[in-house]
Every structure is written in C-alpha cells, then in structure tokens.
A and B are shown apart, each in its own frame.
Chain A
Amino acid sequence: MEIVKGKKIEQHLCDLHAAEEGMAVKAAHTPINELLTNFVKLHSGGTQTSTSELTCEECGLSFSKFRESSLMGCPSCYKSFEGPLSPLLERAHEGGSHHVGKVPRRAGAGEQRQAQLTRMRKKLNEAVTAEDYELAARLRDDIRRYEEQAE
C-alpha cells in the first residue's frame, strides 16, 4: 500500500470495471447502484413500487433485481426498463443517450432478426425443458439455418 503524507494516494474513480482489469475489487458495481437508488428515491417520492415492479417480459428480470446487481438479464431488458434507465444512462455517459458509433453489418433488418432469433431460442428452450428432443433437434436446425443466412 502506498501512503503519501499520511494519505492513501490512490482512489477508485470507477469501481465498476476494475474487475476486468484483473484487479481485486471490493464491490464490483457500487456506483451505478448508488445512482439507481438515488434516482429511484428522487422520482418516486419515497415509494419505489412503480419502478421496482417493472419486469422484463423476455427474461423475467425485475427492475429491483437489476438494481441489486447492476446487470441486465437480456437484450430486451433495455426496452423493458427504458423509462427509468434513460436518465441514468445519460448521467453515466456524460449526457450520451444514443449510440453514434459502429453499426454491425447485419444491422439492416437487425432488430427483427434478433427478435426472431430470440423467439426461436425460447421455443428451443421450452422443448428441451419438456424433454421433447425431436422438436428440439428440429428447432436447432432451423436456428442454425437462420443464423447462416447473412443479411
């Protein structure tokens, strides 16, 4: 530990991603959690019910669960939580609210395509859970064919 004039000279400016740098971190997602909690308090007049009950239809993640972990459950969560999330994103990204960078080549009809893949994989998941392996095999082939058709 480095101490200069009786003070630790290092401090975390962003705990969030220290983990990915290969360094030990105490609590990986504190800042955005604080942001979230403060935000929700601010905008709900002390009751957190309305926002907390939001749930992603696709993966079932609730907004309150997201608040605990700071992690989204699936791509659809961004749509499901768009309302309460938007102001937070702007604060976390210096006011940035819309993507302006690289666009993937397959993005042409991308969002429809992604929704279709999500639906197909959901069916596959249900088939496996129901132990209907014949249907599962068929769905798997369908998905593979669909994936291979580039836009």
Chain B
Amino acid sequence: MSIRQLTDHAGEWLRGAGPHSDIVISSRIRYARNLAGYPFVNRANRRQRFEVLDRCKQEIVSKRLADNVLWVDLPDSPSMDRQLLVERHLISRQHATAGDDIPRAVALDAAETFAIMVNEEDHLRVQVLRSGMQLAEAYDQIDRIDDVLEEKLDFAYSRRFGYLTACPTNLGTGIRVSVMLHLPALKLTGEIEKVRRASRDMHLAVRGLFGEGSEALGDLYQISNQTTLGKAEQEILADFEHTVVPQIIAYEQQARQALLKQRQAQLDDKVWRAWALLTNARVMGTDEVLQLLSHLRLGVNLGRIEKVDIRAINELFLLTQPAHLQKLSQQEMDAAERRIARAKLIRQRLEQATR
C-alpha cells in the first residue's frame, strides 16, 4: 500500500453510510499516550526521539493491529504527500510541517479506519474514524488498539492524573471524541447559534472542518469534548451519543422540515443552482465549491434532486482540496490552474455519478 493508492478514493469514513449519515458525516475518537521513562517529544533529544519512534514502529507494524499497515516516515515524504494526509484528517498540520529534524511518522490501515501519529505533541496519537454516527464501534476499535499496544509498551500513567500527556488539557483519559456534522438547514435558517450555545453549555468545542482556522466551510461543523480528566471514557462517549448529537440532529431535522414547508421554492432554488454551477462552471475556488456541495448534499438528502448519490458528493468535499487535486492530476499546479482543474474534476465526477 502507498500514498498514491489513497488518492483517488476516499476513506471508509466518507462512505456516506452508517446511522444518521444524512447529518453525521463521521465519528472520530483519538487518544494520546506517552512511553514511560522518556521526556515528552518537545523535551526529548534527537536520540530519544528516534528510540521512541523505533519502539512504537516495532509494535505498530507487528501485524497485531492489521495485516497491512502503511508506515510513512514524514521527514522523508514529499510535502504534497504530507498535505494530502492533512486534507484526509490522517495527520495534523503540526505533524506535517514540524522540522525535518524531528523523526516522526504516521501509520495507517488500508481502509483508513485508524491512523497513528508517532512523535507529534505526544509520543502516540491514535485515532479511529468511522462513517456516520458510530462512536461505540469506534471506541471498541480504539480500545482494542490500546490494549494491543500496552501489552508491550509501558505508558506514562499516574493514579491521580491518569495517562500523562504533554499538554495538561489532554490529561486523564487522553480521549478526544468528535463528530463531524453537516448542518446546512440550521445555517440557512440562521439558527446555528443554537448549536453553539448548547455546545458551549456542555463544555464542548465547535470548529469548522475544512479551510483555514475556524471557518465552517461547507456547513461542516466538528464538535468535540474538552474535558479529559475526572470523566471516564464511557461518560464522555455517552454525553455525545445520548445527549449532544441527538439534540443537534433534532435541531437540524426541524430546520430542514421548516425549509420544506415554508421556503420550498427558495430551498429548491439553492439546490438546483448548486447543481447548475457544479455541472457547468469552468473555474472554481475551494470555498465556493464547498458551499455548493453543501447545498447539493442537502437537496439529495431531502429528495429534492435525485440525480446523484451522497457518496460522490462526500468524496468531492475531499478530492477538490488542493493536494488531492494535484495528486489526482499528477502535477503541481498554482492556485489559478487548480481552480480550472477543480471545476473539471467536479464536472467529470458528477457526470459519472449521475443516475
């Protein structure tokens, strides 16, 4: 398996399947772990960082996690490949751009259900990604990975503080749970503030998914826990599964029904304009594409347009990002060239996917 093989399809988490996949794009859980007896990455010397990397590599590629694990040494990888991994949410931007003197890697399984970053902020950052609302399944998998790794690795742990992490905000379980939600109707009806307030009250972080900083491009919102100490893994999960996500799903569904009842013509106009532009435009920027894909996705989910399936749309959210676009075209392009290639790719993919 190689990075090249990752390029032209999306990971299992963008399948557009799984419970509530009309609103919940994906479920993700990650935890942070550090090897006992070493300084954390930021204070370890070069030799110690290499030792940590070797120790972790041995256990990760031992075939006990998956038959086929792709191990990518990041300092040796072209920057385009690293960027591709960032766009796919398999590594952080920090991990992609850290100095080449920091030995670091990421390990993936073929279906991209898990990704393990070694020597990021912590020695190990393990994440599991699933399509739709599948937090329980994601937790089972990540817990198994943890069990396998800790058979051979001593993790830094204290009875009082739990798993010890470089940043005190990850202390305790080290667990960060997040769901990526598509909330176009709340955005169109101007009620997205509700989600923000509810999340804030529950000490959850709300972020955008793609693009710079915190912008929620494509009406995609990522919600994650901030508390990792004093709450067990199951409590953190239960908050999401039984309280947070169902509540937001209900808000979005109400907003969708309101649009259907009260503003159907305007809704259809948004959806069909999106279709018209996506299938005809010749030059397209990422922000515009994400917004149009969002409206098209809403239209398909509400049965207002039946030309195309959700998976193709989900994949386009990813494949139209700069590094994906360049890998697919097998050439480096500047921003202007990318806008043209992007419009072309969308036309082709939507034509292929048209029922």
Q: Which residues does A use to contact B, with CB under 8 Å?
A: 1-2, 4, 9-14, 16-26, 28-29, 32, 58-59, 61, 69-75, 78-79, 85, 88-89, 92-107, 110-111, 113-114, 117-118, 120-121, 125, 128, 147-148, 150
Whether the pair B86, A22 counts as a contact (CB closer than 8 A) is: yes
Asked if A102 contacts B230 (CB within 8 A), the reply is no
Which residues on the A side are within 8 Å of B167 (C-beta)?
16, 29, 32, 70-72
Q: Whole-angstrom distance from the CB of A116 to the nearest CB of chain B?
A: 8
Q: For the complex, is B227 an interface residue (Cβ under 8 Å from A)?
A: yes
Known: A17-B176, A23-B208. 9 other contacts (CB 8 A): A1-B215, A24-B213, A71-B42, A71-B167, A72-B165, A74-B38, A102-B233, A114-B36, A121-B38
Q: Which of B87, B170, B175, B229 contacts A97 (CB 8 A)?
A: B229
**Is the pair A102, B173 in contact by a Cβ cutoff of 8 Å?**
yes
Given A22-B93, A23-B93, A74-B39, A17 and B156 touching (CB < 8 A)?
A: no
Name the residue on A nearest B36 (C-beta).
A114
B 179-204 contacts with A by CB, 8 A: 190, 192, 199-200, 203-204
Specify which chain A residues have a CB less than 8 angstroms from the CB of B349 in the assembled complex.
none
In the bound assembly, the distance between CA atoms of A74 and B45 in angstroms comes to 12
Given the interface contacts A2-B215, A22-B87, does A16 sit within 8 Å of B169 by beta carbon?
Answer: yes
Counting CB contacts under 8 A, is B232 at the interface?
Answer: yes
> How far does the alpha carbon of A25 sit from the alpha carbon of B211 in the complex, in Å?
11
Q: How far is the CA of A16 from the CA of B32 in the complex (A)?
A: 14
Shortest Cβ distance from residue A77 to the other chain B in the assembled complex, whole angstroms: 8
| Structural contact, B214 and A72, CB atoms closer than 8 A | no
Chain B residues, CB < 8 A from A147? 152, 154
B262 in the interface (beta carbon within 8 A): no
Q: Confirm or deny: B226 has a beta carbon within 8 angstroms of a beta carbon on chain A.
A: yes
Interchain CB contact under 8 A, A13 and B173:
no
Chain A residues, Cβ within 8 Å of B30: 20
In the bound assembly, the distance between CA atoms of A120 and B154 in angstroms comes to: 14
B158 near A78 (CB under 8 angstroms)?
yes
* Nearest-CB residue, chain B, relative to A18: B207
**Taking the complex as formed, is B205 at the interface, i.e. its CB lies under 8 A from any CB of chain A?**
yes
Does B171 interact with chain A (Cβ within 8 Å)?
A: yes
Cβ–Cβ contact A14 & B36, under 8 A: no
Collect the chain A residues with CB atoms within 8 Å of residue B91's CB.
22
Chain B's closest residue to A36 (CB) is B168
Residue with the highest number of chain B CB atoms closer than 10 Å, among A72, A85, A99, A147: A99
Q: Mark B85-100, 1 if CB is under 8 A from A, else 0.
A: 0110101111000000
Shortest Cβ distance from residue B128 to the other chain A in the assembled complex, whole angstroms:
14
User: In the bound complex, what is the Cα–Cα distance between A92 and B226 (angstroms)?
Assistant: 8
B199 to chain A, nearest CB (A): 7
Majority secondary structure of chain A interface residues (helix, strand, loop or mixed) = loop
Assess the A69–B42 pair: CB atoms within 8 A: yes
B residues with CB within 8 A of A: 30, 34, 36-40, 42-43, 45, 47-48, 86-87, 89, 91-94, 120-121, 125, 143, 146-147, 150-152, 154-173, 175-176, 178, 190, 192, 199-200, 203-209, 211-217, 222, 224, 226-233, 287
> In the docked arrangement, what's the CA distance between A120 and B228, Å?
31
Q: How close is A73's CB to chain B, nearest CB, in angstroms?
A: 4
Residues on B with beta carbons closer than 8 Å to the beta carbon of A99: 158-163, 171-173, 229-230
With A13-B199, A22-B93 already in contact, the answer to whether A2 and B217 are too (CB < 8 A) is yes
CB atoms of B213 and A92 under 8 A apart: no
CB <8 Å contact, A14 and B86: no
**Structural contact, A23 and B213, CB atoms closer than 8 A:** yes
B93 touches A19 (CB 8 A): yes
Cα–Cα distance between A79 and B213 once the two chains are bound (Å): 34
* Interchain CB contact (< 8 A) of B37 among A10, A16, A79, A118: A118
| Alpha-carbon distance between A111 and B30 when the two chains are bound, in angstroms | 24
Q: Which residues of B contact A28 (CB under 8 A)?
A: 94
Q: Is the CB of B93 within 8 A of A114?
A: no
CB contacts (< 8 Å) of B155 on chain A: these are 104, 106
Known: A23-B212, A70-B168, A93-B227. A12 touches B39 (CB 8 A): no
B89 / chain A contacts, CB cutoff of 8 Å: 21-22
Smallest distance from the beta carbon of A14 to chain B beta carbons, Å? 4
B206 touching A13 by the CB < 8 A rule? yes
- Chain B residue numbers with a CB within 8 Å of A29 are 167
Interface centre among A21, A58, A89, A110 (most CB of B within 10 A): A21
Neighbouring B residues of A92 by C-beta, 8 Å: 168-169, 226-227, 229
* Contact assessment for A24 and B212 in the assembled complex, using a CB-CB cutoff below 8 Å: yes
Chain B nearest CB, measured from A110 CB (Å): 6
Task: Name the contact of B121 in the complex, choosing from A20, A94, A95 (C-beta under 8 A).
Answer: A20
